[in-house]
Amino acid sequence: MSFIEELKRRKVFRVAASYAIVAFIIMQLVEILFPMFNFPQWTQQFTVIIVLLGFPIAVILSWVFDKTPQGFIKTDQNVTQEVDGLNIKVDRRPFYLQKRNIFLVLGVVGGILIGTYSSSTISKKIDSKSIAVLPFDNYSTAPEDQYFSDGITEVIIAHLAKIKDFTVISRTSVMGYKGTTKSLKDIGKELGVAHILEGSVQRAGDEIRIVSQLIETKSDKHLWAETYDEKLKSLFAVQSDIAKKIALAMETEISGDVERRIDERPTESLIAWDNYLKGIEYSYVSNRLVDIENSQEYFDKAFQLDPYFASALAKSAYLDLQIYWLGYDHIHSRINKAKSKIEQATALNSLSPEVLEATGYYYYYAYRDYSEALKYFDQAKNLEPGNSSHIQSIGYILRRQGKIEESLLNLHRALETSKNDASLAFQIMLTYEQSRKYKKAEEMIDIALRLFPDNQVNLMQKAWFKYYEHKNLSLLVDELMILRNKYKDVNYWITFNIADALFRNRNYNLVIDEIEKIKEPFNIGQNNYTPHIFIIGRAQELMGMEKKAKVSYNTAASLLEKKLLLNPQDIRIISDLALVYAYLNRKEDAIRMIESAMIEIPIEKDYTDHGEYYDKEIEINLVLGNTNKAIKMIERSSKIFGGLGYFDLLHPKWDSLRDNVQFQSILNSLSSNL
């Protein structure tokens, strides 16, 4: 018998083939799953070493031993051998009839399928034209020049976003890697990009040095590198040159129009540009009024220094609109101020993405004219196809138009290039929650928390999702209390959530204690302008303290009436005053005011906000004794985006309907979403 035949008899080839197939499948799964779960690089290497070391051991064992019905026995030299009365023979059947070989073939096919399709089903294939621009290191003598190096990062990202074929990671996502010790390969895997640009900036007087290098993340290969030693006045030319050199290194042609827009100088004043960069830096701090105003101050100064600086004026206009939308200054003169700036900026540069974006938000924030806003966001996206902020804006518009699936498609697409944007993850969470898809919503808040673990809003939202699971309000209150003890209660958000949870748990005396801790007179949101004394009044009424409750309601009405005189078109104030009037049994005033508010926000105009105002109208009708109408309205609300959900209907304000058969039927139908 030849050596080859002996190897066959001892099934060495079969064991080797089986081991190779299993090893192949393991390697595929390691490559796919380990990065998904952020396992360290060494775990992959260790697994590969173990698999390789196991191969010779398996081959040796297959030579020495045979597997029989009685277990493993030492292989004999004979072709057959009796073991406990059994004659073990070599299987002479054709290959395709041998069961073990059938399993081998299935293993090969399975391994090939995993290797072929895993990239599309489990982990997406990395786009060869994708790139992340890491924050440029600041080597300037003045540490406060960090905004300058960050500004260069932002400009290069904006230039690259103009190139149609590129997938460019957003500024929000890359800024988290400032000062990181992670390897470029690990960063590339986390961001899902094929290329990374890194560099440094050093400014001294009117001299500037910019060092930049483009790396292929998979191979760690340097594709391009250059050092620029220039006068500061050459800054714009250097930034443009870097973008074009990257396109060349990544073998991408850019059209003449795109090249012209990359070369376009935003301003002729370096001092104006310096202020513009400071404005951008402040715009990323927070949505608090003080940070918005600081940002706007720098944009305004930039425009004063260069009256042709269209982008600076557009940024300032956008912040006016944001101040209006967030309710800090919800008066029409703020809209007029933004309109004047936008018209002037458009006359200077109608094709500026910043101008187009500001115009889109003018129609969005000022008039809820979403069709018109979408036109401008689409134009901006066409000019900067790689800018995820335009895709986000389009996603928000589609959500308000009731095109929820399209909205989610755009928002998830934006998240692919803004992987570290916790606020975007939060917005996707809201979309799922308003669609009553609570499991998916909780998955998104988990992503937001992973990106921003100490954010109070994210933490509170997670606490509510836990309540949705265990349905124990006392545990929710305890968790919110722990959060308040651990974190500074910014704007009394946590305290207000504690009061809400206590109200739902019918602990009305404790509700009053919590609300009295809040120094601000109103709980102001995008769709509400609620006096805190009104909440106290509701608690007092439910405790049987009718006289005290009436005093509280009258105080709440007086506060809102004064606010309404200052801004008679604010539907937040109108709708909340209508609700207070209902509790004061001022039926005609309540109905007249809520109807005027609902005319301004029908569902056809705004799917996102309509539900909240509609729910106020339902409560008003219920308080005024229009029970049948309220039931019909609850049924409609339970079916629309952003309307009432199962846990909303557990609130005490609906207690008078608990025994109603129709109400219970609605509640049962909503429970199917849990």
**CA dihedral of residues 420, 422, 426, 429 (deg, nearest 10):** 30
More confident residue, 339 or 184: 339
Query: Among 197, 200, 190, 178, which residue's Cα sits nearest to residue 123?
Result: 190
The predicted-structure confidence for 163-221, as pLDDT tens digits, reads as follows 988 999 999 899 889 888 888 989 999 999 999 999 999 988 889 999 999 999 988 89
Q: Is the predicted pLDDT of residue 68 greater than 60, yes or no?
A: no
Task: Give the chain's domain count.
Answer: 4
Indicate whether 569 and 472 sit together in one domain: yes
Q: Would you say residue 457 lies in a domain? A: no
pLDDT at 34: 65
Q: Would you say residue 460 lies in a domain? A: no
Indicate whether 61 and 173 sit together in one domain: no
Indicate whether 281 and 355 sit together in one domain: yes
Indicate whether 206 and 282 sit together in one domain: no
Confidence of residue 120 (pLDDT cuts 50, 70, 90): very low
Indicate whether 181 and 280 sit together in one domain: no
DSSP string, 283-347: HTT-SSHHHHHHHHHHHHHHHHH-TT-HHHHHHHHHHHHHHHHTTTT-SHHHHHHHHHHHHHHHH
> For the chain, what percent of residues have pLDDT higher than 70?
86
Domain hosting residue 335, numbered range: 270-433
pLDDT at 287: 87
User: Pick from 121, 156, 175: which residue ends a domain?
Assistant: 121
Q: Would you say residue 444 lies in a domain? A: no
The predicted-structure confidence for 515-555, as pLDDT tens digits, reads as follows 999 999 999 988 999 999 999 999 999 999 999 999 999 99
The predicted-structure confidence for 644-661, as pLDDT tens digits, reads as follows 999 999 999 999 999 999
pTM of the predicted protein model: 0.80
pLDDT at 204: 87
Over residues 471-494, mean pLDDT: 92
User: Pick from 263, 291, 317: which residue ends a domain?
Assistant: 263
Tokens of 148: 């300058």
Q: Would you say residue 21 lies in a domain? A: yes
Q: Would you say residue 438 lies in a domain? A: no
CATH number assigned to the domain comprising residue 145: 3.40.50.10610
Confidence of residue 101 (pLDDT cuts 50, 70, 90): low
CATH number assigned to the domain comprising residue 348: 1.25.40.10
Indicate whether 117 and 136 sit together in one domain: no
Indicate whether 189 and 337 sit together in one domain: no
pLDDT at 93: 52
If you average pLDDT over every residue of the chain, what do you get? Answer: 88
Indicate whether 275 and 257 sit together in one domain: no
Q: Is the predicted pLDDT of residue 396 greater than 50, yes or no?
A: yes
pLDDT at 244: 95
> For the chain, what percent of residues have pLDDT higher than 90?
71
Q: Would you say residue 598 lies in a domain? A: yes
Looking only at the bridges linking them, the beta strands covering 221-231 and 207-216 are antiparallel
Indicate whether 629 and 543 sit together in one domain: yes
pLDDT at 143: 67
Indicate whether 402 and 284 sit together in one domain: yes
Confidence of residue 51 (pLDDT cuts 50, 70, 90): confident
Indicate whether 635 and 552 sit together in one domain: yes
Q: Would you say residue 476 lies in a domain? A: yes
Secondary structure letter of residue 640 according to DSSP = S
Confidence of residue 288 (pLDDT cuts 50, 70, 90): confident
User: Pick from 93, 121, 149: which residue ends a domain?
Assistant: 121
pLDDT at 118: 46
pLDDT at 73: 56
Indicate whether 258 and 275 sit together in one domain: no
- Distance separating alpha carbons of residues 641 and 615, to the nearest angstrom: 12
Q: Would you say residue 439 lies in a domain? A: no
